[in-house]
Amino acid sequence: MTRFVLGRIGFYTLIAVLLAFFTIPLLWLVTAPFTTDPTYEVAVPDFTWDNFAAVAEHPYALPSLWNSVVLSVGTALLVVLFSALAAYALSRVRLPGRDALLYALLLLSSIITGTAAMVPLFQLAVELNLIDSQLGLILILTGGLLPAAIFMLKDFMDSTPKSYEESARVFGATPLQIVRHVVVPLVRPGLATIAVWAVANVWGNFLMPYLLLSDVEKQPAAVITYTLYTEGGQANLSMLSTFGLLYSIPVVLMYLFVSKKYGFRFHGGIKR
Amino acid sequence: MAQAISPPEAPGAPESAPGTKEPARYSSDAAGLGKARAGVFMAPALLLIAAFLVFPALWVLYLGLTNYRLTGIAAAEPQFVGLDNLLDAVANPTFWSSTWLTTQFVLGSAVIGQVGLGFTIAWLLRDRRGPLKRVVEGLVILAWILPSAIVSFLWVALLDRDGGTLNALLGIPGTAWLLDHPMLSIIVFNTWRGTAFSMMLYGAALGNVPPSHLESARLAGASGWQQLRDVVFPHIRGHILTNLLLISLWTFNDFTPFLLTAGGPDGKSEVLAVHVYKVALQGGELGYGAAVSTIILLINLVVAVFYLRLLRSKK
């Protein structure tokens, strides 16, 4: 009995410590934006909206959020479109060397990271005149995400029935029509997963836009956040916290949406 | 978070899906795609992958053998210098300290921090449903999904010398955590930030341990630790290994420490990812940076091959 009680006490103590560890760093983000003159310390806010007005007036804050939308949605669209086409072909047609190709794709996606490829990607962007080009950055980010996306989608498509495609074919549909009207509706959850995954990736990405976009008007929120707190002298804490909150809300909403719709669950690693 | 979300479990294995047993008249090519059209479908993806993934990986090997620089003569016409950059790296104390710091970073925050904490949380919450589980998991996942630029600034604020929340809580103003203990700060930060992946993975893995095995161990009088050691760990060994390899790879390549300390003070938190950025893009020594990148690439390759082997053997 005592052992049980001690166990309970131990359990709740541990949970309390964990909750504190994970909550305390976040508290500032939800209090400082509503505080008139925030310091680094977490304080009870006096509920002002002035900081939001200040962010709205900042020349680069809201535009950078829009840039983040452009980059992440643009990348997600290309990733979904190109990975769906490629995964469909890989799933339905027996091509020589298909397994080797898939293996190579998976290997590539895990070994070639921003860290390993920053120098050549920077040089490539300079040579191709893609510095300060949002489209260029979108293409580069798409190239990086495609292998994993193809891999996940191929798995998904393998498990959808082929009989509908066969009957559509019997009725004379062209392959593109079959893809649009038969395959896409069937694999919609897979496409949505890939899209959300791509948006989340690009939304938080710092290194690539930091390397490749030097024009402050084209930079996404990640880079603006960094410049807001490193530009000379005192960091403007009310601006930073408020902007940070606005920048964070979309991913939180997306997470809530995904976990409600698909139940944010998975079973370890990439499955073959 | 270029690696953030792991792919979802595909429903049902390919072999068991209806319609997969191909009628003799049709090939598996149900839509009549044909090899030529399949090539067209794959072309845009393969083109982008070739241009922005395969080419850079090969090109970095070459650049590492040149004296390519950001400015000056060697910017326009880089000379082939062979293994000079590699020899420079080996002779460079910063390279070695970066390697050592990266080792600490991976062992401390990924292997001990994220795996340890992720497993602990998953184990504590294993039989629970309801609000407590949802709140704890939600907070851990929040730390993981928020943009790195934001959460790293939150930690800059938390760890500040004067007025930082941590010092206020501990009642010891005056410790500048990021300056006095940069690696410790970064390791704790990355544990905080990355634990969600391990937690979710172990949560799913523990759900697959047959309750009857645990039950019979308990009836045989096994203590909690013995149950873990003799029943749970053997059962989820594959998951542990997968998890270790993946998060080690991600942590090894993580650039986020730059956002907390920019590698400082005096290179005391300059992990390899930051080292490459500092020498190559801030210092202009692109050739040297590419040589270090080549080393990173090779280490990634070794880890990734182990990981894929593991996946294959599980199949």
| Residuewise pLDDT in 10s, chain A (272 residues) | 787 888 889 999 999 999 999 999 999 999 999 988 888 888 888 888 988 988 888 888 899 999 999 999 999 999 999 999 999 999 888 888 888 888 888 888 888 888 889 999 999 999 899 999 999 999 999 999 999 999 889 888 888 888 888 888 888 888 888 888 888 888 888 898 899 889 999 999 999 999 999 999 999 999 999 988 876 556 788 889 999 999 999 999 988 888 787 765 543 333 22
Bridge-partner residues for A81, per DSSP? Answer: none
Q: Is residue A272 part of a domain?
A: no
- Which pLDDT score is estimated for A268? 32
Structure-block tokens of residue A94: 């027996």
A161 shares its domain with A257? yes
Secondary structure (H, E, C), A222-259:
HHHHHHHHHCCCCCCHHHHHHHHHHHHHHHHHHHHHHH
Residue type, B1: M
A41 shares its domain with A134? no
Q: How much of chain B exceeds pLDDT 90, in percent?
A: 54
pLDDT at residue B1 greater than cutoff 70:
no
The Cα–Cα gap between A236 and B152 comes to: 16
A163 shares its domain with A190? yes
The Cα–Cα gap between A65 and A63 comes to: 5
A42 shares its domain with A69? no
Q: Is the peptide bond before A161 cis (omega within 30 degrees of 0)?
A: no
Q: Is residue A54 part of a domain?
A: no
By the 8 A CB rule, do B230 and B217 touch? yes
Is A34 in CB contact (< 8 Å) with chain B? no
CB contacts under 8 A, B 62-101 vs A, are 63, 68
Closest Cα of chain A to B250: distance in Å?
A: 9
Is A253 in CB contact (< 8 Å) with chain B? no
A133 shares its domain with A5? no
Buried b or exposed e, range A166-176, using 16+ CB within 10 angstroms: bebbeeebebe
Ranges assigned E (strand) in chain A: none
- Which pLDDT score is estimated for B26? 40
Residues of chain A with Cβ-Cβ distance to B157 below 8 Å are 28, 40, 237
The Cα–Cα gap between A79 and A142 comes to: 6
- Which pLDDT score is estimated for B17? 42
A115 shares its domain with A244? yes
The DSSP output letter for B221 is T
Prediction pTM value: 0.88
**Minimum CA–CA partner of B63 in chain A:** A120
Domain count for chain A: 2
- Which pLDDT score is estimated for B112? 95
Structure-block tokens of residue B95: 């390279």
CA dihedral A143, A98, A85, A256 (to 10 degrees): -70
Residues with Cβ within 8 Å of A114's Cβ and at least 6 positions away in sequence, in order, are: A121, A144, A207, A208, B2, B253, B255, B273
- Which pLDDT score is estimated for B21? 44
**Is B182 exposed, middle or buried (CB count within 10 Å of its CB: 0-12, 13-18, 19+)?**
buried
Q: Is residue A90 part of a domain?
A: yes
Q: Is residue A268 part of a domain?
A: no
The Cα–Cα gap between A62 and A73 comes to: 17
A197 shares its domain with A244? yes
Q: Which of B68, B126, B89, B134 lies closest to B298 in space, CA to CA?
A: B89
Q: What is the DSSP code string of B262-314?
A: TT-STTTT--HHHHHIIIIIIT--HHHHHHHHHHHHHHHHHHHHHHHHHHHHH
Q: Is residue A103 part of a domain?
A: yes
Residues with Cβ within 8 Å of B224's Cβ and at least 6 positions away in sequence, in order, are: none
pLDDT at residue B10 greater than cutoff 50:
no
Closest Cα of chain A to B253: distance in Å?
A: 6
Q: Is residue A270 part of a domain?
A: no
By the 8 A CB rule, do B136 and A19 touch? yes
The Cα–Cα gap between A135 and A139 comes to: 6
Q: Under the phi-then-psi rule, with left for phi > 0, alpha for psi from -120 to 50, and beta for the rest, what region is B29?
A: beta
Q: Which of B152, B108, B140 lies closest to B252 in space, CA to CA?
A: B108
A114 shares its domain with A239? yes
Q: Is residue A37 part of a domain?
A: yes
A28 shares its domain with A133? no
Higher pLDDT, B20 or A69: A69
Q: Which of B229, B214, B218, B268 lies closest to B102 in space, CA to CA?
A: B268
- Which pLDDT score is estimated for B171? 83
**Minimum CA–CA partner of B16 in chain A:** A159
Q: Under the phi-then-psi rule, with left for phi > 0, alpha for psi from -120 to 50, and beta for the rest, what region is B66?
A: beta
Neighbours of B259 (CB within 10 A): 26
Q: Which of A3, A37, A93, A228 to mutate to test the interface with B (most CBs of B within 10 A)?
A: A93
Largest Cα–Cα separation, chain A: 75
- Which pLDDT score is estimated for B99? 96
CB contacts under 8 A, A 45-74 vs B, are none
Answer positive or negative: Cα dihedral of B129, B132, B135, B139: negative
Q: Which of A115, A187, A237 to mutate to test the interface with B (most CBs of B within 10 A)?
A: A115
CATH code: domain of residue A180? 1.10.3720.10
Rg (CA), chain B: 24
Q: Is residue A229 part of a domain?
A: yes
A149 shares its domain with A97? yes
Structure-block tokens of residue A249: 């809300």
A39 shares its domain with A95? no
Ranges assigned E (strand) in B149-285: none
Tell me how far CA of residue B144 lies from CA of A210, B148, B216, B259, B264, in angstroms.
21, 9, 37, 16, 24
Neighbours of B309 (CB within 10 A): 11
A42 shares its domain with A87? no
Q: Which of A15, A22, A83, A119 to mutate to test the interface with B (most CBs of B within 10 A)?
A: A119
- Residue B195's SS3 state is helix
Q: How much of chain B exceeds pLDDT 70, in percent?
A: 90
By the 8 A CB rule, do B177 and B97 touch? no
- Which pLDDT score is estimated for B31? 65
* Phi and psi angles of residue B275, each rounded to the nearest 5 degrees, phi first: -55, -45
**Is B72 exposed, middle or buried (CB count within 10 Å of its CB: 0-12, 13-18, 19+)?**
exposed
- Residue B66's SS3 state is strand
CB contact under 8 A, A226 and B259: yes
Closest Cα of chain B to A156: distance in Å?
A: 5
- Which pLDDT score is estimated for A271? 29
Neighbours of B217 (CB within 10 A): 17
Structure-block tokens of residue B94: 């910063």
**How many residues can be counted in chain A?**
272
Q: Write out the residue range of the structural domain in which residue A225 sits.
A: 59-262
pLDDT at residue B268 greater than cutoff 70:
yes
The Cα–Cα gap between B290 and B64 comes to: 4
